[in-house]
Structure 1
């Protein structure tokens, strides 16, 4: 492979020239080199390691660039960053690291390129390309990372126990890379993650969630979640999921394994949407089943109210993981809470009023809800699979018909509280709410169209029933 092709962007010649002016060696290292070899498309970020001051090199590069970009300096970490076109370039001096047991923040000293490669998390991320004018484009691969790329293996450069214990976030990163690249984690490395799993507790929740989200955004998230479960990390991060694992049997009656079912649902939905929060809804849609599971002699296993229970659990889970407690969380809660509604509609003959209520309650998220419910079909019976999908197709068609006719997706009542107050000469009172509720129910039931005139007539009639007198 001609590695000089990786360095065709003019920025590399400018970095090379700048390093020569400062009389230091510089290398492009890590993900950029890995992704070039894997032909994963053009990188949006580049890591440069300098044998000397990375900050000084960044400043020199900025000086040599035509647009003289500003340099962001992070003195605490000894790093600097600048933007060139749409690429983010980070500069750091080669480092040697040592760790304390209760922190993933290392004690850092200046080091050689070999020291810097030793501290990398995986062999495939320790690859470096020389930027010196003499050896421009030469590959430095001390741990045979190119072979690991060919063999699709995640392996640590040094003893995995040291690598993972020093910085336990690397355990999450190993699983994330295995998921994104469809690589296998080398056997000793996998055993080491299991052995060091409790070390994950020293990592901040925010950093864990960054890795979780990258697993969720991959083409097949189940790869990552199966590895998290296999190594025992999932118990520390998302115990609500591991609680779903297993099949109970009483009097010959069994229920499905809701853990593996959940992972199928997440994979299914990932084929149809890149919406991270809808994928989270798929992951959490059944978490209420563990605490609501009961056995009834007449009907067998039940999970009554698991959607309501699950939607409440979403808040506590997001709060514990320091995830956003805003509209994103509310969206996930809503999807979990409503996750069975379209299924019931698809099984029955969906009436117009039932579809109107579904659209009214789901609002702008009704299409997301349908996508979630279609992903929830994991039956291996081809006839049932086809039947369920056809049923959902019918519900989707009905949603379009009802929405075109009745406009309830973003429902705004045709009669406002102000109109009611003016018509009956009222100050704010409970009767206004009663009239508005009557109009809303009549529209959802299909008793009147979602139009001003019909709603106005019903308002007069309901006002009269409540003993109100309209002003002439």
Structure 2
């Protein structure tokens, strides 16, 4: 296989070849760029390996492009990067690696192209394209990566037990590539993940989450999670999710398997949105069901309060997994807490008051909440699903009417704590808080409008009931 014609469409490849010839070092395009070229997937990252100094080659290429091209070099790692238009090109010298049992950081030595390909994680990432003048565009494929791409197979170039034990993050990467590309993991390779799963403990949470988030962002993330669970890795990295699995039966009554339900909700959400944190909300929306599961002889299995307990669990899960403890976490927490609210509205007559409260509490996240709620309808009864989705349409129509009329999304009552304190000569106190809450509730219930004169009169009325008199 030869890609000379394709590479010639971008001047950078021939330029790298000429620079390598000038330095008398063989140079090759390697890894993901080669894989994606064969798969006809877009890629803007180019990795170049040379049998020599990667930094020297980067400087030679940058010099040929002019003074405007800067070289970012990382001497400790022997790598350098240049940016050419929308392309990022990384250079490194060919290496061979050896590992210690207690670390995934390799001992690195200079090596040949063969050494460099041997250290690659999977056959589909171990291919190289020659940039020399005489073999320009020729694919070097010692492990059958092209055949594995054709058969949609993830396989390690060398013994998978050694590959995964040396760098356990590669187990996550195997599942990530399978999920992103919709490939199968070759049986011996997959069995080795199970045998080495406990080795994931030496990998930082940040690196694990980087791979897990890529799985979550794949087209059908449930596939990646099934591979994680069946291989045993999920128990090590996200045990709360594993606890969702299973069905209990008592007195002939059973509940659904909340693990598989969660995966269905995640896939449904993925069909509607690419938002990573909305997908995390789908993953965590029922996370407290194991902790709230109870059996009632009349109604069977219940999970009362799982939405509130789940919301309280979100910060701890994010903290342990090293996910961001910022507005992203708060967004997920809010959606977990509110995910039953629209469904409850569907089951009964929809009042303006209930709609106002939902708009107030969800704020700008109301659209995301409705996506999650629609995704949460996973019944196999198609008529039931259609009925729920139609009812959600009605809820959304009602929300649009109430929002247009009352402007309640992220609203703030016109009567502030400062106004209350000034009017009644009060210091910050419980009484001030009580008055604020009653005004807010009156607005949400539709008793008064969120306008100053009407709200101010209501404030005076409340204060009189409480025995509080205004300033003279």
Fold shared, TM-score > 0.5 on shorter chain: yes
In the alignment, is the contact (CA less than 8 A) between 2:98 and 2:106 conserved in 1? yes
Aligned residue number for residue 193 of structure 1: 193
Aligned residue number for residue 40 of structure 1: 41
Cα separation, 2, equivalents of 1:6 and 1:270: 34
Cα separation, 1, equivalents of 2:294 and 2:440: 37
- The aligned runs of 1:50-129 (5 Å cut-off) are 50-129=50-129
- The aligned runs of 1:336-375 (5 Å cut-off) are 336-375=336-375
Aligned residue number for residue 24 of structure 2: 23
Cα separation, 2, equivalents of 1:120 and 1:138: 19
Deviations 1:153-210, CA, capped at 9 Å, x for gaps: 1111111111111111111001000000000001111111111111111111110000
- The aligned runs of 1:263-282 (5 Å cut-off) are 263-282=263-282
Aligned residue number for residue 432 of structure 2: 432
- The aligned runs of 1:328-339 (5 Å cut-off) are 328-339=328-339
- The aligned runs of 1:204-283 (5 Å cut-off) are 204-283=204-283
Deviations 1:231-263, CA, capped at 9 Å, x for gaps: 000000111111011111011000000000000
In the alignment, is the contact (CA less than 8 A) between 1:78 and 1:93 conserved in 2? yes
Per-residue deviation, 1:460: 2.5
In the alignment, is the contact (CA less than 8 A) between 1:407 and 1:450 conserved in 2? no
Structure 1's unaligned 5+ residue stretches are none
In the alignment, is the contact (CA less than 8 A) between 1:6 and 1:33 conserved in 2? no
Cα separation, 2, equivalents of 1:468 and 1:326: 40
Deviations 1:87-108, CA, capped at 9 Å, x for gaps: 2211110011111111111111
Query: Which contiguous aligned blocks of 4+ residues in structure 1 show a shift greater than 6 angstroms?
Result: none
Number of residue pairs aligned between Structure 1 and Structure 2: 471
SS in 1 for 2:380: coil
SS in 2 for 1:271: helix
SS in 1 for 2:76: helix
Cα separation, 2, equivalents of 1:96 and 1:6: 30
SS in 2 for 1:136: coil
Per-residue deviation, 1:340: 1.1
SS in 2 for 1:240: helix
Deviations 1:300-350, CA, capped at 9 Å, x for gaps: 111121112212222222111111111111111111111111111111112
Cα separation, 2, equivalents of 1:374 and 1:454: 38
Aligned residue number for residue 154 of structure 1: 154
Aligned residue number for residue 319 of structure 1: 319
Aligned residue number for residue 456 of structure 1: 456
Aligned residue number for residue 12 of structure 1: 13
Per-residue deviation, 1:293: 1.1
Per-residue deviation, 1:2: 4.9
Per-residue deviation, 1:464: 2.7
Cα separation, 1, equivalents of 2:429 and 2:233: 55
In the alignment, is the contact (CA less than 8 A) between 2:175 and 2:227 conserved in 1? yes
SS in 2 for 1:411: coil
Cα separation, 1, equivalents of 2:321 and 2:457: 52
Cα separation, 2, equivalents of 1:320 and 1:420: 42
Cα separation, 1, equivalents of 2:243 and 2:191: 23
Pair 1:55–1:238, CA change in 2 (3 A) = same
Pair 1:168–1:427, CA change in 2 (3 A) = closer
SS in 2 for 1:121: coil
RMSD across aligned positions (CA): 1.4
The TM-score with structure 2 as length reference comes to: 0.97
More displaced stretch, 421-430 vs 270-279: 421-430
In the alignment, is the contact (CA less than 8 A) between 1:179 and 1:224 conserved in 2? yes
1:396 aligns with 2:391: no
Cα separation, 1, equivalents of 2:434 and 2:231: 56
SS in 1 for 2:92: strand
In the alignment, is the contact (CA less than 8 A) between 1:44 and 1:86 conserved in 2? yes
In the alignment, is the contact (CA less than 8 A) between 2:122 and 2:155 conserved in 1? yes
